[in-house]
């Protein structure tokens, strides 16, 4: 089911949007908290975790997605990774009480080397950061590793609106880029599920949903 990363870019595409730092990064974090929050809400809605689930967010930025996930899993736990130390600090401040209670656990780490054991999450999401992953298929394989059999992954992206009039249309994924992302999910070993498209404030969003499949042994054992 897995193929070679034939189309994988070899250099990171980061800069301030991909790894905020300093004064400019703090200002950018404020913009992300405002503009990405409707996408966070969509991703959590589509992920639809159960109250006791353990879930993961990749690239949580200023932490509003973590906040929404924590509200969705009141009896569970939310983990998150972001490679910006500034964003980790901001997310910890935003979710201070949940962090102190051990319900939200933001960490500085890369999606390519997740600091978690195999098959420990009931679901995962990434909102508006897939475009910054230098090796997306490798990152998706790493996400598959930490998901339990049958667990969903939601990758939310900015898509070009049908009218082409929204604020972020110029940098949004066109149809070819969305098709490439779907192919990457399959290359990484996921089972494609569905795609939810929605017009949100300032952005047209697409939430792509795939599942970590069960192996034959897992299916036989009932896992």
Determine, yes or no, domain membership for 27: yes
Determine, yes or no, domain membership for 80: yes
Q: Which domain does 118 fall in, by range? A: 15-221
Positive or negative: CA dihedral 172, 174, 179, 180: negative
Helices (H), the chain: 15-18, 22-35, 37-47, 64-72, 85-94, 96-100, 136-146, 175-187, 216-221
Determine, yes or no, domain membership for 5: no
Determine, yes or no, domain membership for 2: no
Token pair for 66:
């973590």
Determine, yes or no, domain membership for 3: no
Taking residue 126's Cβ as centre, other Cβ atoms within 10 Å add up to 26
Number of domains in the chain: 1
Determine, yes or no, domain membership for 7: no
DSSP codes joined into one string, 120-173: -BSEEEEES-GGG-SSHHHHHHHHHHHBPTT-EEEEEEEE--TTS-STTGGGSB
Give the span between the Cα atoms of 19 and 8, in whole angstroms.
20
Kindly report the CATH number assigned to the domain that includes residue 75.
3.40.50.150
Positive or negative: CA dihedral 107, 52, 127, 65: negative
Q: pLDDT (tens digit, 9 = 90+) per residue, 52-93? A: 999 999 999 999 999 999 999 999 999 999 989 999 999 999
Q: How far apart are the first and last CA of the chain?
A: 20
> For each of the chain's 223 residues, which pLDDT tens digit applies?
333 333 333 333 444 344 544 434 444 444 555 678 999 999 999 999 999 999 999 999 999 999 999 999 999 999 999 989 999 999 999 999 999 999 999 999 999 999 999 999 999 999 999 999 999 999 999 999 999 999 999 999 999 888 777 777 778 899 999 999 999 999 999 999 999 999 998 889 999 999 999 776 665 665 5
pTM value is: 0.84
Determine, yes or no, domain membership for 122: yes
């Amino acid at each position: 089911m897995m193929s070679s990363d034939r189309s994988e870019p070899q250099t990171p595409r980061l800069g301030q949007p991909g790894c905020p730092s300093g004064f400019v990064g703090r200002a950018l974090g404020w913009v992300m908290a405002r503009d990405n929050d409707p996408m966070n809400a969509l991703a959590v809605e589509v992920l639809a975790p159960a109250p006791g689930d353990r879930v993961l967010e990749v690239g949580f930025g200023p932490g509003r997605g973590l906040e929404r996930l924590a509200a969705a899993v009141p009896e569970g736990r939310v983990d998150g990774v972001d490679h910006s130390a500034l964003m980790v600090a901001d997310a910890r401040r935003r979710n201070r009480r949940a962090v102190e209670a051990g319900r939200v656990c933001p960490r500085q780490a890369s999606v390519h080397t997740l600091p978690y054991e195999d098959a420990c999450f009931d679901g995962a999401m990434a909102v508006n950061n897939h475009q910054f992953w230098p090796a997306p298929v490798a990152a998706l394989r790493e996400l598959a590793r930490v998901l339990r059999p049958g667990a969903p992954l939601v990758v939310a992206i900015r898509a070009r609106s049908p009218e082409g009039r929204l604020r972020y249309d110029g940098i949004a994924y066109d149809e070819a880029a969305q098709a490439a992302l779907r192919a990457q999910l399959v290359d990484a070993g996921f089972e494609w599920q569905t795609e939810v498209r929605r017009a949100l404030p300032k952005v047209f969003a697409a939430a792509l949903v795939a599942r970590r499949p069960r192996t034959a042994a897992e299916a036989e054992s009932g896992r």
